[in-house]
Amino acid sequence: MRKLLCMALFLAAPAPAAAQDLGESEIIVTGARREAEDYDASVPAIGLRRTADFAVQQVTVVGDTRDAVKRREEIFAMIRGAIELAGHRPGIELATGEMIVEPLTLANYKNLALSSDGRPDTDRASFLVKTRLTAGGDRKAALDRIDAFIKAVPTVGRAEMRSSGDLTLSVVGPDQYRGQIVDLVAADARATAARLGPDYAVDAKGLDRPVEWSRASLTEVFLYVPYSYSVVPVRR
C-alpha cells in the first residue's frame, strides 16, 4: 500500500508512518530542506528539478456551538461529509500528517486532534486537501479545484471549513529518484574533470546520503543528494 508524505505543516496525524521510511512515502515540500541532525545549509547545484506530485492545502473546520459535545459532533460531521464528497470528486484527495502524510478516511478521521480556536466555546480540527499536478502543473488550476471543493462541502450546524496558510507541494517517494540524481552528479563531475585534462579525476563524497528536497517554484521541487566532490590529480 502506498504511503503518502508531506513537510512543515502542523497537523495531527492518526497512526503516522515512520519518518525514516521514505521509499514510497509522500512528503510535504516547503521552502526548507528535510530535517536532519547533520544539517548543512548549502544546497548543491546539481539535482533533479521536477513538477511536484500534488498541490496541498491545509484546511480547518471551526465550530462555535455553545454546547461542547454538540460542537465537536458538528465539526466531525462536517469532516465526514468532506471525506464522502471527495469520493465523488476526481482529482481531490484528503490526507493528514505533518511530514509523512496518510490518507484521511472514514476509519481514522475521528483521530484528528481538536484544539481551541482562541475564542470561548470554539474548537477546530485541521487536515489536508490535495490535488495531483501534471508536468508543468498549473498552480491556479490546482488552487481553483481545491477552493471549489472546500465551498462544496456541506455545512453542519455552526461548523465551517476554511483554507489555512498557503498552498504547498508534496512529492511521493523521493528516494526513488536517487539513481537519476546520482547520474546527473556523475555527468557533471566527469565533465568538470575532462575540462582539466586526462591527468585529473573526481573524488566524490556524500552520494550514499538520503535524498533531500526543497521547493524550486510554485509547482516544482528540487531533489538532491547532499554530495560534494573535488577534482584531483591522478596518481600514477
Q: For residue range 169-205, what is the model confidence (pLDDT) as tens digits?
A: 999 999 999 999 999 999 999 998 899 888 888 888 8
Domains of the chain plus CATH, in order, are 54-169 (3.30.70)
Cα distance between residue 66 and residue 44, in whole Å:
54
Q: Is 90 exceeded by the pLDDT of residue 55?
A: yes
What pTM was computed for the model?
Answer: 0.78
Residue 152: is it exposed, middle or buried by C-beta count within 10 angstroms (0-12/13-18/19+)? middle
Band the pLDDT of 234: cuts 50, 70, 90: confident
Q: Quote the pLDDT of residue 6.
A: 38
More confident residue, 138 or 112: 112
Beta partners for residue 61, in sequence order:
125, 161
Cα distance between residue 16 and residue 48, in whole Å:
27
Rg (C-alpha) for the chain, rounded Å, is: 22
Beta partners for residue 233, in sequence order:
200
Average pLDDT over residues 48-57: 96
Average pLDDT over residues 73-80: 98
Band the pLDDT of 120: cuts 50, 70, 90: confident
| 103, three cell numbers | 490518507
